[in-house]
A and B are shown apart, each in its own frame.
Chain A
Amino acid sequence: MIETQSLCVSLGGAQVVHDIDLTVERGRLTALVGPNGAGKSTLLAALGRLVPPAAGAIRVDGTEIGRIPSPDLARRLAILRQNAVIAPRLSVADLVGFGRYPHSGGRLTAQDHDIVRDCLADLDLTDLAGRYLDTVSGGQRQRALIAMTLAQTPDALLLDEPLNNLDLSHVRRVMAVARARAETGAAVAVVLHDLTVAARHADHIVALKSGRVFASGPPEEVVTPEILSALYDTPLEVHDIAGKRVVLTV
Chain B
Amino acid sequence: MRGPPVAKPLVLAGLACALACGLFLTLGARGDWGFVLAFRGQKLAALLVVATSVAWSTIVFQTVTGNRILTPSIMGFDALYLLIQTALVFTLGGVGFAALGQRLQFGIETALMLGAALALFAALLRRSDDLGRLVLTGIVFGILFRSLSSLLNRLIDPSEFAVVQAASFARFNAVNTDLLWIAAATTTVCVALLARRSARLDVIALGRETAIGLGVDHDREARRAMALVAVLVSVSTALVGPVVFFGLLVSALAHAAAGTWRHAVLLPLAALISATVLVGSQTIFERVLALETSVAVVIEGLGGLVFLALVLKGAAR
Residues of chain A whose beta carbon lies under 8 Å from any beta carbon of chain B: 48-50, 70-75, 78-79, 81, 84-90, 93-94, 97-102, 105-108, 149, 152
Contact of A108 among B1, B198, B216 (CB under 8 A): B1
Extra pairs beyond A49-B212, A106-B203 (19, CB < 8 Å): A50-B213, A70-B212, A74-B215, A81-B210, A84-B207, A84-B210, A86-B210, A87-B205, A87-B206, A94-B2, A94-B3, A94-B261, A97-B1, A97-B2, A102-B215, A106-B199, A106-B202, A107-B199, A152-B214
Give CA–CA (A81, B214) in the complex, Å: 12
Cβ proximity bits B34-72 to A, threshold 8 Å, 1 near / 0 not: 000000000000000000000000000000001100000
Q: Point out residues on B near A: beta carbons under 8 Å.
A: 1-3, 66-67, 129, 198-200, 202-203, 205-207, 209-210, 212-217, 261, 317
Q: Chain A residues with Cβ under 8 A from B214's Cβ?
A: 74, 98-99, 101-102, 152
Chain A proximity of B55: nearest CB distance (Å): 18
Contact A101 B199 (CB under 8 A): yes
Instruction: Find chain B residues with CB under 8 A from A100 CB.
Output: 1
Assembly CA distance A97 to B198 (angstroms)? 16
Which residue, of A49, A73, A88, A108, has the highest number of chain B Cβ atoms within 10 A? Answer: A88
A73 touches B3 (CB 8 A): no
Chain B residue with minimal CB distance to A48?
B213
Q: Which residues of A contact B66 (CB under 8 A)?
A: 87
Q: Looking at chain A's contact residues, is the secondary structure mostly helix, strand, loop, or mixed?
A: loop
- State how many angstroms separate the Cβ of B134 from the closest Cβ of chain A: 13
> Can you list 17 A-B pairs with a CB-CB distance of less than 8 A?
A50-B212, A70-B215, A75-B215, A79-B213, A81-B209, A87-B66, A88-B261, A89-B261, A94-B261, A98-B202, A101-B203, A101-B216, A102-B214, A106-B198, A106-B200, A106-B202, A152-B214
* Whole-angstrom distance between the Cβ of B258 and the nearest chain A Cβ: 10
- Closest approach, in angstroms, between the C-beta of B220 and any C-beta of chain A? 9
Given A85-B207, A94-B261, A106 contacting B215 (CB threshold 8 A): no
Most A C-beta atoms less than 10 A away, residue of B202, B213, B216? B213
Instruction: Find out whether the CB atom of B215 lies under 8 angstroms from the CB atom of A98.
Output: no
Across the interface, which residues of B come within 8 angstroms of A81, CB to CB? Answer: 209-210, 213
Most buried by B among A86, A87, A89: A87
Q: How far is the CA of A49 from the CA of B209 in the complex (A)?
A: 10
Interface residue from A74, A88, A108, A152 paired with B206 (Cβ < 8 Å)? A88
Residue of B whose beta carbon sits closest to that of A108: B1
Bound complex: CA A85 to CA B205 (Å): 10
Judging by beta carbons under 8 Å apart, are A70 and B205 in contact?
Answer: no
Contact A78 to B199, CB < 8 A, known contacts A93-B2, A94-B2, A98-B1: no
Cα(A90)–Cα(B206), bound, Å: 10
Decide: B207 and A86 in contact? CB cutoff 8 A: yes
CB distance from A113 to the nearest CB of B (A): 8
